[in-house]
């Protein structure tokens, strides 16, 4: 059983939803990434997405693009990201780490070499944004053989046929993109997200996590009402950028932001569990005192 599967099993038993914060490795400084990973874990992250800096990120909005640019100015490369994960694993063996990035750096390293390095570092999942599952057989096989979960995106425009195909190849969880746009964009139609998640559930038993449009704790809690997990990226990266501009350490603001989202998601889960329990109690023919 992978760390990701084990994590979602525990959350399911506790009737809790996953919080998956995202940061870009090397932003704002390479030396701060390890500390931020620990901050995220301590603040309530169930899994962590760690972005691999790339010069041409097609799915990322301006906020995360600037984070990649800052990291690349510090010469952060894929091997540096893997090294950071290995350092994190030296003291944290429970919180899953998912690398999110683009295919070019992986191809440069080589699929087998990358899969070996990811497994050795303690990476649990890999989301390669620009690798369609139809063309990903070699990398998928290399990762799966080393018990690293290949994660895939499903968009609002994805057809039924492709949803089926993606779900057959994915491991760990499904990442549902909440809107037609890049990370950090606005205008999320929550009713449409709920309908599409229900549609995806017809094809998979994997957890479904939602990202790309979640800006604050209230939005995270609303999305958690119908998803198994919530991915928050641009809001965190924007806070890091603000701290950089203000010449402040990002650690305390990031902890507060993630902690607030954790509390909001958990409060919503408790409320929904209470409502469900009450409905079950009344449906059994019982009455309140």
- Ranges of each domain in the chain: 3-283
49, 149, 228, 241: which is the annotated catalytic residue?
49
Task: State the Cα angle at 153 between 148 and 159, rounded to 5°.
Answer: 130
Q: Is 49 labeled as catalytic in the residue annotation? A: yes
Cβ(75)–Cβ(89) below 8 Å: no
Quick one: fold of 3-283?
A: TIM Barrel (3.20.20)
Structure tokens at 182: 């890049």
For residue 135, give the DSSP letter: G
60, 124, 228, 241: which is the annotated catalytic residue?
60
Q: What is the pLDDT of residues 39-84, one digit of tens each?
A: 999 999 999 999 999 998 887 888 999 999 999 999 999 999 999 9
Distance between CA atoms of residues 19 and 126, nearest Å: 17
Q: Is 124 labeled as catalytic in the residue annotation? A: no
Global pTM value:
0.90
Mean pLDDT of 147-172: 94
pLDDT at 134 over 80: yes
Most confident listed range (46-50, 128-132, 193-197, 230-234): 46-50
Q: What is the pLDDT of residues 228-273, one digit of tens each?
A: 999 998 899 999 999 999 999 999 999 999 999 999 999 877 666 5
């Amino acid at each position: 059983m992978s760390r990701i599967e084990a994590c979602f099993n525990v959350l399911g038993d506790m009737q809790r939803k996953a919080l998956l914060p995202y940061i870009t490795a090397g932003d704002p400084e390479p030396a701060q990434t390890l500390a931020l990973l620990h901050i995220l874990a301590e603040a309530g992250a169930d899994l962590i997405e760690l972005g691999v800096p790339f010069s041409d990120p097609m799915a990322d909005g301006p906020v995360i693009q600037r984070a990649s640019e800052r990291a690349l100015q510090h010469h952060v490369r894929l091997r540096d990201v893997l090294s950071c994960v290995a350092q994190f694993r030296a003291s944290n063996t429970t919180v899953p780490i998912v690398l999110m990035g683009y295919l070019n750096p992986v191809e440069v390293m080589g699929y087998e070499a990358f899969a070996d390095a990811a497994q050795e570092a303690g990476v649990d999942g890999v989301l390669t944004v620009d690798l369609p599952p139809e063309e990903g057989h070699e990398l998928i096989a290399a990762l799966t053989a080393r018990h690293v979960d290949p994660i895939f995106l499903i968009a609002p425009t994805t057809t039924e046929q492709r949803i089926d195909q993606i779900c057959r190849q994915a491991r760990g969880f499904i990442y549902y993109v909440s809107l037609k746009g890049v990370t950090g964009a606005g205008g999320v139609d929550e009713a449409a997200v709920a309908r599409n998640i229900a549609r995806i559930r017809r094809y998979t038993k994997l957890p479904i996590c939602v990202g790309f449009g979640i800006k604050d704790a209230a939005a995270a809690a609303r999305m958690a009402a119908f998803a198994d997990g919530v991915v928050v990226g641009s809001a965190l990266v924007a806070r890091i950028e603000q701290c950089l501009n203000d010449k402040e350490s990002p650690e305390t603001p990031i902890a507060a932001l993630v902690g607030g989202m954790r509390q909001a998601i958990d409060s919503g889960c408790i409320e929904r569990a209470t409502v469900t329990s009450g409905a079950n109690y009344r449906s059994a023919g019982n009455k309140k005192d």
